[in-house]
Amino acid sequence: MTGSSAASGPGFDGVALPSPQLEPLTLDTPLKKALSPAQATALAKAFGFQTVNDLLSHYPRDYADREVLRPLNQLTPGANITVIADIISAHEKRMSSRPGTIVEVVISDGGGQFTLTFFGKNSQQWRLDQLRPGLRGSFSGKVRMYQGQSQLANPSYKTFESEEEEARDDPALKLKHKPLIPIYAATAAETSWNLQTMIDQVLRRLGTLPDPVPEDLRVVHSLLDHTQAIRWIHSPDDPEQWMAAQETLRFTEAWVLQCALMQRHSLARERRTQPRVPTPGGYLERFDAALPFVLTIDQEICAVEIAADMARSGPMNRLLQGEVGSGKTVVALRAMLAVADSGGQAALLAPTEVLAGQHLRSITTLLGPNLAAELMPTLLTGKLPVAQKRKALLRTVSGQSRIVIGTHALLSDTVTFFDLGLIVIDEQHRFGVDQRETLRLKGAEPPHVLVMTATPIPRTIAMTMFGDLDVSTIRMLPAGRQGIRSVVVPMGENGALFGRVWASLAQELALGRQGFVVCPAISPAEIEDEADFAPPPGDDPRPLFNVEEVLEGMRGVASLAPYRLEALHGRMTSEEKDRIMRSFAAGEIDILVATTVIEVGVDVPNASAMVVLDADRFGVSQLHQLRGRVGRGGVPGLCLLVTNSRAGSPARQRIGDVAATLDGFVLAELDLALRGEGNVLGDMQSGDGSKLRFLRVAVDGDMIAEARQAAYHLVTGDPGIRTNPALRDAIARRLNDSERTWLNKG
């Protein structure tokens, strides 16, 4: 980092004085040199801030207009808040139980009222003099509940009258009293206006900041220069200023992020590694010749992309996405065989022991007996018995096993590979950059990396969270797998339809197949998990369908009488759940009446019918996941989405959208738009996206794409970003330690 720091120039007699002659502050100036030692220490303690940039990146959460009061009714207990309000009344009382006084001040936003309490040992007349009814001011503190009422105890405050008095004494302060007051996320020790005061001090001495966004981009996107944006975000004269500042900082965020990802991508490619290409007549050719089906076009394209990557002398870094059953494993296995042809080994990392075991079985089957014997796919997990584990370790280090499949145990120090050429990671989000890096270091040269994910990732999330990876996508499922018919069943309009639901289910079962009935609740009193969507206000407050009552009701339906029904839900122990799932898989149970616990890890090819009750309670992606439980084998699936929502309502629209397409990518985009990125990113666990301040992946997709395009051009021509030091510094500032380590290893 650069960081020419602003020196505190010596004043008279060698005493440092803040004066206009001081060198202007830069973003890298330590706060110790920009503020008083006490202030700098307090900021470090409260927020961990060290530099001017840390403080200036603490953007206002909101702005309060001195002329407009804000509603006081949504005050959450425990929250640190700052409110602008009028003082209605102020009284002092003696405390009854112990010595001391209590001042109660009632403030109002013009509608609601709110109480402030101040405790004192002695008379607090001075406080009553400050807090006179009729004055307006800002009040800051922690909301707590007292006798059923929320209040602020011992808040800090500043009346606007006192501000004006201060300003009379110090004309420089006059400037500060703009109509808009920035409201900062605060702590008990550092109130919003303490922060405002310190930020103002820093802004007054701030020099011109170099711009991370090049001028041509600023012109094209009508952006402010960086210095202006920073000043206006903290100290706007009017709403137009902070909105313009936000727009600029939003683009800046997209730009810096995309440049960082592009740079990481290009640095990773600059590393040298061994190309892995299949040999004529080798394992891959033999495998392809014996494959009992033809690859889909999507599989072919992905395979070509992967082969091209691995033929290069820089390591592959690729994400392979496609839904469960889309044929990712076959594509990944072909890449492993190319590595085996080149004399190397491939490691396949699964998130759980069970999935690792499943992979071993399906890969062994796909290879067929001859190739399996030669390549010796080996399981290596933490739970293996000692003797077996020793054998697996030996096969790995000797290079005898060309395909090693395991869990994170593969990352441990005791595992050494003979020649690790490729790492395949199943399910991206459980493996962070750090873990990918540990595996990378297991090869003498950096291995190629292929990350597989079965969760369709919306385009903007892929760009922000996985922007350093190339992406291959399998959209279409292999032929014969697309037979799921989805039907919306609107209960509200026709109660008789319910009989039809059970009749359809019975028809499927009569063909020897199995089915699921999914309810949002376990019992009338117990909802399985927080539903994504609450019923719209004013809707019929009918209780939710629940496993207990539905099971009971189904047992009374004549057409279902011949079949074996069983419940499955989250209140059962894992042993119980396992036992029931196993007997369902074995065909000993015909219908599972279940909550969403069946979402994960169920693969029963004979299951063909899925009935979702109260379908409006589930999110788009969740419904799609549930539907994915049927139609897995050769038999076509039927999915009945039963809802009480009214025709034309958003809920009905949502369910209709799910019924209308089997394309998980389309539904993932829709889910993002409906639920917002907070929820969707939360599901995917945190990535770079979680650090975003102004950028909203749900709505700023175009901006992100434009920034990405521009970043691509810049980094292609100037991988070291030498032509733009301000950008290089901005990238360095946003990296965390592990990312920095990662880059330095390049």
Q: How far is the CB of 366 from ligand ADP (least distance, A)?
A: 6
* Residue bearing tokens 């666990």: 685
The whole-angstrom separation of Cα 514 and Cα 592 is 8
Shortest Å, Cβ 328 to Mg ion:
6
Tell me which stretch binds ligand ADP (CB under 6 A): 90-98, 290-298, 465-473, 613-621.
290-298
Helices (H), 586-688: 620-627, 650-660, 664-684
The smaller minimum CB distance to ligand ADP, of residues 150 and 358, is found at 358
DSSP of 455-495: S---HHHHHHHSTTSEEEEE-SPPTT---EEEEEEETTT-T
User: Of these, 343, 368, 478, 570, which contacts ligand ADP (CB under 6 A)?
Assistant: 478
The dihedral built from the CA positions of residue 168, 169, 172 and 176, taken in this order, carries a sign that is negative
Rounded Cα distance between 531 and 461, Å, is 23
Interface pattern 186-225 for ligand ADP (x via CB under 6 A): ----------------------------------------
Q: Does 364 bind Mg ion (CB under 5 A)?
A: no
Part in contact with Mg ion (CB under 5 A); list of ranges 92-100, 124-132, 324-332, 679-687: 324-332
- DSSP code string of 67-133: TS----S---TT-EEEEEEEEEEEEEEE-SSSSSEEEEEEEESSSSEEEEEEEESS--HHHHHHS-T
Our CB check for ligand ADP shows the closer of 296 and 514 to be 296
320-339: which residues touch ligand ADP (CB under 6 A)? 322, 324-330
645 binds, among Mg ion, ligand ADP, none (CB under 5 to 8 A by kind): none
Smallest distance from ligand ADP to CB 508, Å: 22
Judged by CB under 5 A, which stretch of 87-95, 326-334, 457-465, 689-697 contacts Mg ion?
326-334
Instruction: Select 126 or 293, whichever has its Cβ closest to ligand ADP.
Output: 293
Least distance CB 597 / Mg ion (angstroms) = 21
For the bound state, the minimum distance from the C-beta of residue 695 to ligand ADP, rounded and expressed in Å, comes to 31
Which one of ligand ADP, Mg ion, none is in contact with 514 (Cβ closer than 5 to 8 A by kind)?
none
Task: Please say whether the beta carbons of 532 and 619 come within 8 A.
Answer: yes
Query: In whole angstroms, how close is the CB of 443 to ligand ADP at the nearest point?
Result: 24
CB of 477 to Mg ion, least distance (A): 12
Min dist. Cβ of residue 527 to Mg ion (A)? 31
Contact of residue 213 among Mg ion, ligand ADP, none (CB under 5-8 Å per partner type) = none
Coil, strand, or helix at residue 155? coil
User: What is the C-alpha separation between 372 and 365, in angstroms, rounded?
Assistant: 8
Interaction residues for ligand ADP, span 481-540 (CB under 6 A): none
> Which lies closer to Mg ion via its Cβ, residue 18 or residue 605?
605
Q: How many residues bind ligand ADP (CB under 6 A)?
A: 14
472: CB partners within 8 A, 6+ apart: 301, 302, 305, 306, 318, 319, 320, 321
**Which of 612, 599, 395 lies closest to 487, judged by CA?**
612
Integer Cα distance of 528 and 551 in angstroms: 16
Q: Would you say 247 or 599 has its CB closer to ligand ADP? A: 599
In contact, 491 and 643? CB cutoff 8 Å? yes
CB 556 within 8 A of CB 567: no
Distance of CA 214 to the CA centre of its chain: 29
631 contacts ligand ADP (rule: CB under 6 A) = no
What one-character-per-residue DSSP string does 649-660 give?
SHHHHHHHHHHH
- Select 324 or 572, whichever has its Cβ closest to ligand ADP: 324
Please choose which of Mg ion, ligand ADP, none residue 246 contacts, taking the beta carbon within 5 to 8 angstroms, the exact cut-off set by kind: none
329 binds Mg ion per the rule CB under 5 A: yes
Residue 60 near which of ligand ADP, Mg ion, none (CB within 5-8 Å, type-dependent): none
Q: Residue 15's CB: how many other CB atoms inside 10 A?
A: 8
Q: Which does 478 bind (CB under 5 to 8 A by kind): Mg ion, ligand ADP, none?
A: ligand ADP
DSSP classification of residue 51 = B
Tokens of 631: 């139609």
- Segment interacting with ligand ADP, rule: CB under 6 A, options 317-325, 388-396, 438-446, 725-733: 317-325
Binds ligand ADP by CB under 6 A, chosen from 80, 191, 196, 299: 299
Binding-site partner at residue 296 among ligand ADP, Mg ion, none, CB < 5 to 8 Å by type: ligand ADP
Alpha-carbon gap, residue 718 to 284, rounded angstroms? 38
Site size for Mg ion (CB under 5 A): 1
Q: Which of 331/615 has CB closer to Mg ion?
A: 331
Interhelix angle 650-660/620-627, rounded to 10 degrees, is 40
Q: What's the rounded Cα separation, in Å, for the pair 545 and 538?
A: 19
Q: Which residues bind ligand ADP (CB under 6 A)?
A: 293, 295-296, 299, 322, 324-330, 362, 478
- Residues forming contacts to Mg ion in the complex (CB under 5 A) are 329
